């Protein structure tokens, strides 16, 4: 029988190396260009940064590290992070862990007596399937480590190496609390399959680890509830199935239609199962034992209402990847023509990228690299001006760049007005010293995720103000100096912007909001600086957004400025905004329009006011020669 000491083929070494290099470079690029769309990486960076200083409450979620998820494995990164205190240290660890998978898979395939060429194809399939690339470039999350660790656990069991088995078993448990559910299923299924191997074997390999996993599963429930203090309500992911944990269990039997409907939605709209099964040629279906092991955890994800839990694009497929792979490997080991089937499987893993996974999306970025780099440069400069010790509230893509500080708040919590995955009101701490708002950030201002919303009713008794109103209430207790360029605004506590002189024709949006001035105070080639004057009366009911639209007579080019003076309360207020023309716009004569609108979903981006919301500001030449210098409103 081949052993795990067989020399690793060069194809696997090169494949793993290229995979690690590619994934890390793509991850760095996405982080470096502010394209990360969650606060996961920032949460772990801040957690370990604080832990190294003897502090435990992570301000991003207002919980300790173990209060969000039970993930003690993260603490193993602490020594490395102490040496290299950079966000990408976490991504490097995750990438290297994934790069071990083809080596482990190769040893398993040879132990299953799969022919050498087929074993090479199977090993490479672990890193070529779309799920692996999707997980690999998805920021950082400890659950991603379940994939390589589970593969090592399976290898240890096949080799009957009890010490290694327990090492990887404990490591898997430490990845996340729901891995205990997976390990309970793992041990239970194998206890049935191993029932003829004797009592000693069952106790050693199945019963004892099942007991440990069960105790850890129950313990995690108490630990999380104690440390969480209601700041993150994961039970709300299943609120469509019942009002409480007990109610969900009861309705699972009394109203099974709820669960079936949730499964139908997940299977019809998600791609998790096909993206895992099709690249492996549906071979996992021939070894249902592994599907039974995956079943409880798979049900946890498929019964959730959250789209990301039953689709590629996040870390959730990680635990299933090694289970579906070993099922395919065992099925292949029992079939003739291993070489042809394994080659077809490897080809399908590659072809599946055209249907699932991030490869096409990454390719679509290539024509826009110059624009991405240009935007990254000036945004990074604005962030460099933020003091290292300042308390900061920031949009999601900037959080991991600012996470090595004690006070960091995610702007999406302010805009949503509710605690994470909860209907409970979120009470923010006092505004930080710096607030960073990117109005073109579709992650923070996501209407799909519910972060940015109009006024809404959470239940019969409670109502959440609109996101614009919540942002206003968060900012207005202080005076702010705004540094605004294109869609990015950095607010720093200080003296408010000077008021411009009143314009000739004030524009009344409603009884509380009047635009008193709209001036171009700087006009240079490629640069326009605007000065806006406002008069707010009483409590603000209107929060207009501004969009600049350039027209060359054939095409319209819209550029979002964002909410107008959300920090200002009653009285007169001024704001400056600098607009830099993007380098990709060809030299031409452009008419410049300012359009004001209500960005809330309920209003459907309705223009404000209905009759006179468009202002012809200037005709200009990108080469610098003015065609018309007067400003007119109509």
Map out the domains of the chain as residue ranges.
10-232+270-364, 385-495, 498-634
pLDDT of residue 123: 97
Is 618's pLDDT higher than 50? Answer: no
Whether 170 has a pLDDT exceeding 50, the answer reads: yes
pLDDT tens for each residue of 556-614: 889 999 999 999 988 999 999 999 988 888 766 778 888 888 887 555 555 555 444 44
- Give the tens place of pLDDT for each residue, 463-472: 899 999 999 9
What mean pLDDT comes out for the span 263-270?
93
The pLDDT assigned to 596 comes to 84
407 near 391, Cβ under 8 Å?
A: yes
Q: How far apart are CA 466 and CA 455, in angstroms?
A: 4
State the pLDDT at residue 252: 86
Which carries the bigger pLDDT value, residue 4 or residue 321?
Answer: 321
pLDDT at residue 81 tops 80:
yes
Are 528 and 579 spatial neighbours (Cβ–Cβ below 8 Å)?
Answer: yes
Q: What is the mean pLDDT of residues 407-413?
A: 95
Domain 498-634 has CATH 2.60.40: yes
State which H helix or E strand residue 463 sits in.
Answer: strand 463-464
What values do phi and psi take at 608, rounded to 5? -130, 140
Query: Which of 545, 519, 516, 548 lies closest to 533 in space, CA to CA?
Result: 516
pLDDT at 302: 95
How far is it, in rounded angstroms, from Cα 405 to Cα 398? Answer: 13
Share of the chain above pLDDT 90, in %: 63
* Amino acid 613: pLDDT: 45
Q: pLDDT at position 172, please?
A: 97
Q: Of 101-115, 223-237, 458-472, 598-612, which one has max mean pLDDT?
A: 101-115
* Nearest CA-CA partner of 308 in 139, 187, 126: 139
pLDDT value of residue 105: 97
SS3 sequence of 275-338: HHHHHHCCHHHHCHHHHHHHHHHHHHHHCCCCHHHHCCCCCCCCCHHHHHHHHHHHHHHCCCCH
Residue 288, pLDDT > 70, answer yes
Structure tokens at 559: 């550029």
Query: pLDDT-derived band of residue 102, with 50, 70 and 90 as boundaries?
Result: very high
Mean pLDDT over residues 548-556, rounded?
84
Lowest mean pLDDT segment, chosen from 36-40, 178-182, 519-523, 560-564: 519-523
Residue 524 has pLDDT above 80, yes or no: no
Which residue(s) pair with 592 in the sheet? Answer: 550, 618
**Phi, psi (degrees; rounded to nearest 5) at 410:** -85, 130
In terms of C-beta density within 10 A (0-12 exposed, 13-18 middle, 19 or more buried), how is residue 446 classed? middle
Distances (CA, A) of 361 to 283, 446, 541: 28, 19, 40
Task: Give the mean model confidence (pLDDT) for residues 214-241.
Answer: 83
The pLDDT tens digits of the residues spanning 372-387 come to: 999 999 999 999 999 9
Determine the Cα–Cα distance for residues 426 and 411; give it in Å rounded to an integer. Answer: 12
What is residue 606's predicted lDDT score, i.e. its pLDDT? 58
Q: Among positive and negative, which fits the CA dihedral 548, 30, 46, 412?
A: positive
Containing 377, the helix (H) or strand (E) segment is helix 369-384
pLDDT, average across residues 169-181: 96
If one counts every other C-beta atom within 10 angstroms of the C-beta of residue 32, the result is: 15
pTM score, whole prediction: 0.91
Task: Determine how many CB atoms are found less than 10 A away from the CB of residue 151.
Answer: 25
């Amino acid at each position: 029988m081949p052993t795990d000491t067989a020399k690793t083929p060069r194809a696997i070494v090169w494949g793993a190396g290229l995979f690690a290099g590619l994934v890390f470079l793509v991850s760095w690029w996405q982080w470096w260009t502010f394209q990360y769309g969650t606060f996961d990486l920032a949460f772990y960076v801040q957690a370990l940064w604080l832990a190294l200083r003897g502090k435990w409450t992570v301000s991003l979620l207002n919980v300790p590290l173990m209060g969000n998820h039970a993930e003690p494995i993260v603490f193993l990164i602490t020594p490395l992070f102490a040496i290299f205190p950079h966000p990408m240290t976490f991504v490097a660890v995750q990438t290297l862990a994934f790069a071990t998978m083809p080596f482990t898979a190769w040893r398993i395939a040879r132990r299953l007596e799969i022919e050498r060429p087929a074993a090479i194809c199977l090993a490479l399939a672990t890193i070529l399937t779309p799920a692996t690339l999707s997980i690999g470039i998805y920021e950082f999350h400890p659950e991603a480590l379940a994939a390589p660790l589970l593969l090592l656990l399976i290898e240890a069991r096949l080799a009957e190496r009890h010490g290694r088995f327990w090492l990887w078993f404990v490591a898997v448990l430490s990845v996340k609390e729901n891995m205990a559910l997976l390990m309970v299923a793992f041990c239970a299924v194998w206890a049935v399959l191993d029932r003829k191997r004797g009592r000693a074997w069952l106790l050693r390999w199945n019963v004892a680890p099942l007991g440990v996993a069960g105790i850890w599963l129950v313990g995690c429930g108490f630990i999380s509830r104690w440390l969480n203090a209601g700041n993150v309500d994961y039970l709300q992911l299943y609120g469509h199935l019942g009002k409480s944990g007990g109610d969900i269990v009861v309705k699972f039997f009394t109203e099974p239609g709820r669960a079936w409907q949730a499964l139908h939605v997940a299977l019809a709209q998600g791609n998790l199962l096909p993206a895992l099964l099709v690249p492996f040629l549906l071979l996992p279906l021939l070894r249902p034992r592994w599907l039974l092991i995956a079943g409880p955890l798979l049900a946890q994800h498929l019964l959730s209402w959250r789209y990301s839990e039953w689709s590629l694009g996040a870390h959730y497929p990680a635990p299933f990847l090694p289970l579906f792979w070993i099922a395919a490997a065992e099925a292949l080991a029992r079939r003739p023509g291993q070489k042809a089937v394994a080659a077809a499987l490897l080809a399908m893993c590659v072809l599946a990228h055209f249907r699932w996974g991030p490869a096409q999306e990454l390719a679509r970025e290539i024509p826009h690299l110059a624009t991405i780099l240009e935007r990254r440069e000036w945004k990074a400069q604005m962030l460099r001006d933020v003091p290292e010790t300042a308390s900061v509230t920031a949009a999601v893509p900037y959080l991991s760049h600012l996470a090595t500080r004690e006070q960091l708040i995610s702007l999406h919590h302010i805009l949503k007005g509710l605690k994470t995955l909860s209907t409970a009101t979120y009470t923010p701490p006092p505004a930080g010293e710096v607030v960073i708002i990117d109005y073109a950030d579709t992650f923070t201002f996501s209407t799909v995720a519910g972060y940015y919303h109009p006024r809404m009713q959470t239940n019969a008794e409670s109502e959440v103000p609109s996101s614009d109103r919540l942002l206003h209430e968060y900012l207005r207790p202080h005076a702010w100096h705004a540094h605004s360029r294109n869609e990015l605004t950095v607010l720093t506590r200080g003296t408010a912007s000077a008021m411009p002189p009143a314009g000739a024709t004030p524009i009344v949006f409603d009884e509380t909001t009047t635009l008193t001035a709209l001036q171009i105070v700087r006009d240079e080639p490629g640069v326009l600086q605007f000065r806006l004057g406002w008069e707010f009366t009483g409590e603000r009911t209107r929060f207009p957004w501004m969009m600049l639209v350039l027209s060359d007579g054939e095409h319209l080019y819209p550029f979002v400025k964002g909410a107008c003076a959300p920090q200002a309360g009653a009285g007169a207020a001024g704001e400056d905004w600098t607009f830099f023309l993007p380098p990709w716009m060809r030299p031409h004569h452009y008419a410049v329009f300012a359009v004001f609108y209500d960005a809330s979903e309920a209003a459907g981006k309705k223009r404000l006011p209905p009759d006179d919301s468009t202002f012809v500001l200037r005709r200009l030449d990108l080469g610098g020669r003015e065609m018309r210098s007067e400003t007119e409103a109509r």
